[in-house]
Structure 1
Amino acid sequence: MKITLIQIGKTEDKYLLEGIDKYEKRLKHYINFSTVTIPALKNTKNLNFEEQKKKEAELILKSINNTDYVILLDEKGKVFTSVQFADQLNKHMNRAVQNLVFIIGGPYGFDEKIYARANEKLSLSTMTFSHQMVRLFFIEQIYRANTILKGEPYHHE
């Protein structure tokens, strides 16, 4: 199974880039993981939030295939513990999902077209985080889930 993380706009804070790089390197030992960064929209002063989400949706939809299993990282999604999340990943692996695609939207969330395309929604917390920080938190959780599935000592419970 391949896991792809689609995100809007590049990460700019050095400390986040370092953390993301750390966990991406660690993930290479477990799974085929990649990120797709869709450039942030330019000249958005004259666009309202809904128009921005619609334009982002067009770009996101071009980045996914009809056969991809799509999970949105969304504040209204299902909340899991790390162990439950690892179990969910394992279920996708056992169902022979070819490409599991997680999507982090832009600062205003997702357009309805993206909600309609999604197979699931996942929330990392009932708190709200910046879409920049979510990238690091999520990649760490993918790494954590893989160590849980392998029975390695990274996760303590």
Structure 2
Amino acid sequence: MTITLLTIGKTDSSALQNLIENYTARLKHYVRFEMVVIPDIKKTKNISENQQKEKEGEVLLKQLQPADFFVLFDEKGKQFTSVGFADLLQKHMNSGLKNLVFAIGGPYGFSAAVQKRANAKISLSKMTFSHQMVRLFVVEQLYRGFTILRNEPYHHE
């Protein structure tokens, strides 16, 4: 299985980027993983938030194949414990799924078209986090999930 993380815009903080790269390198020991950074939409001063979401959504959807299982990180999604998230990863691997694609939206979230295409939604918390910080949380939780599945000593209950 390949896991892809689609994100909108580059990470501005070098400290965050270093941590993301660290967990990405660790994660690659367990699964084929890639992060695809979709460039920020240019000239957003004269368009509405909804128009920006639509434009980001068009680019995001072009990254998908019909057979991809597409999961949004969205505050209205289902919440998991780390062990529950690991179980979800195992379920997808056991199903023979080839591509598991996660997406983190831009600052205004996802367009209606992206929401419609999604197979599932996951919430990291009832709180709202910056879309840049969520990247770190996601790659860390993916790494944690695989260490849980391998009974490695990273996660403590």
Q: Deviations over 1:59-85 (max 9, x none)?
A: 001111111000000000000000000
> Aligned letter for 1:43?
K
Mapping 1:106-121, distance limit 5 Å: 106-121=106-121
Q: Aligned partners of 2:36, 2:25: CA distance in 1, in Å?
A: 16
Match of 1:39?
39
Structure 1: 4+ residue segments shifted above 2 A: none
Q: Aligned partners of 1:28, 1:55: CA distance in 2, in Å?
A: 31
Q: Deviations over 1:96-155 (max 9, x none)?
A: 110000000000000000011000000111110000000001100000000000000000
Aligned-pair identity (%): 59
> Aligned letter for 2:55?
K
Determine if the alignment matches structure 1 residue 11 to structure 2 residue 36: no
**How far 1:94 sits from its partner (Å)?**
0.5
Match of 1:132?
132
Match of 2:122?
122
Q: Aligned partners of 2:36, 2:141: CA distance in 1, in Å?
A: 18
Mapping 1:56-75, distance limit 5 Å: 56-75=56-75
> Aligned letter for 1:4?
T
> Aligned letter for 1:71?
V
Q: Aligned partners of 1:12, 1:107: CA distance in 2, in Å?
A: 13
State TM-score, norm by structure 2: 0.99
SS of equivalent residue, structure 1 residue 90: helix
Match of 2:155?
155
Q: Aligned partners of 2:28, 2:77: CA distance in 1, in Å?
A: 27
Match of 1:87?
87
Structure 2: runs of 5+ lacking an equivalent: none
Q: Aligned partners of 2:66, 2:7: CA distance in 1, in Å?
A: 18
> Aligned letter for 1:106?
G
**How far 1:12 sits from its partner (Å)?**
1.4
Q: Aligned partners of 1:56, 1:122: CA distance in 2, in Å?
A: 19
Determine if the alignment matches structure 1 residue 99 to structure 2 residue 99: yes
**How far 1:28 sits from its partner (Å)?**
1.4
Q: Aligned partners of 2:38, 2:18: CA distance in 1, in Å?
A: 20
Q: Aligned partners of 1:149, 1:81: CA distance in 2, in Å?
A: 14
Superposed CA RMSD: 0.5
SS of equivalent residue, structure 1 residue 115: helix
Q: Aligned partners of 1:148, 1:14: CA distance in 2, in Å?
A: 28
**How far 1:93 sits from its partner (Å)?**
0.4
> Aligned letter for 1:9?
G
